[in-house]
């Protein structure tokens, strides 16, 4: 049971480049989310999904897109990277009826 | 709007002492409150949760107290150990909303 798997773990982008952070979970969880964590700060919700085919915006969605074509996968796309998107990104999942959120190990992104 | 915040960004305690980490919340509609522990370089991990209709819940060496009158949540760690050094986050869930709101975190340092 791998849990929540994120790739890549580290990435350096140039301003204006695009990329996709991959996230997969093997626990058949309905809910999946993407958070960003800036130094010394908490987790801010970017986008979330309550099931395949359904996505919604969190508190900081600008500059990011998501899709949920399957229950397992929830990729996060940076459309045109900016230095302000330098952060650690966490993918997370949980079952609809539960409270425990399972997080991936994080993806460290630097935009130069 | 909803927000979850912690009273102090840092807390330093002696090994063996008890630790108390506090959190204030603003959304009275939350169904559950949850504490997470984040070790350096890793994703947050679930510690304990408490339903909104409860005042207290105990786990192994940890106790969570909920005071709905003043919208305050605390995490008590008994006999704090070096392995407890981490960032602690409180979070709140509204059932079926698909997302959780996190506070900024308290960094706990345990001195030998």
pLDDT digits (tens, 9 = 90+) for A42-66: 899 999 999 999 999 999 999 999 9
Residue B13: predicted pLDDT:
95
Task: Return the higher-pLDDT residue of B104 and A8.
Answer: A8
Q: Pick from B43, B103, B105: which is nearest to A103 by CB? A: B43
pLDDT score, position B29: 84
Distance from A8 to chain B by nearest Cα, in Å?
Answer: 14
Residue B1: per-residue pLDDT: 37
Provide the pLDDT for residue B2: 45
Using alpha carbons, select from A112, A96, A105 the residue that is nearest to residue A21: A105
Residues in chain B with CB shorter than 8 Å from the CB of A104 are 43
- Give all strands of the β-sheet with B19-25 in edge-to-edge order: B4-6, B19-25, B72-77, B62-67, B56-58
What's chain B's average pLDDT? 89
| B43 to A48: CB separation less than 8 angstroms, yes or no | no
What are the chain A neighbours of B100 within 8 Å (beta carbons)? 33, 45, 101
The 10 Å Cβ neighbour count of residue B97 is: 16
């Amino acid at each position: 049971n791998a849990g929540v798997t994120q790739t890549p773990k580290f990435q350096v982008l140039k301003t204006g480049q695009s990329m996709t952070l991959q996230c997969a979970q093997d626990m058949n969880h309905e809910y999946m989310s993407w958070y960003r964590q800036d130094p010394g700060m908490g987790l801010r919700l970017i986008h979330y999904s309550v099931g395949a085919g359904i996505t919604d915006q969190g508190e900081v969605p600008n500059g990011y897109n998501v899709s949920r074509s399957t229950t397992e996968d929830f990729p996060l796309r940076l459309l045109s990277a900016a230095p302000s998107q330098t952060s650690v990104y966490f993918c997370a999942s949980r079952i609809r009826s539960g409270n425990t959120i399972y997080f991936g190990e994080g993806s460290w992104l630097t935009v130069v | 709007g909803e927000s979850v915040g912690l009273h102090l960004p840092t807390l330093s305690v002696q090994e063996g002492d008890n630790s108390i980490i506090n959190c204030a919340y603003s959304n009275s509609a939350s169904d559950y409150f949850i504490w997470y522990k984040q070790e350096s370089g890793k994703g947050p991990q679930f510690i304990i949760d408490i339903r909104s209709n409860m005042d207290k819940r105990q786990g192994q060496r940890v106790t969570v107290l909920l005071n709905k009158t003043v919208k305050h949540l605390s995490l008590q760690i008994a006999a704090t150990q070096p392995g407890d050094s981490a960032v602690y986050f409180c979070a709140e869930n509204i059932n079926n909303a698909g997302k959780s709101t996190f506070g900024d975190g308290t960094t706990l340092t345990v001195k030998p």
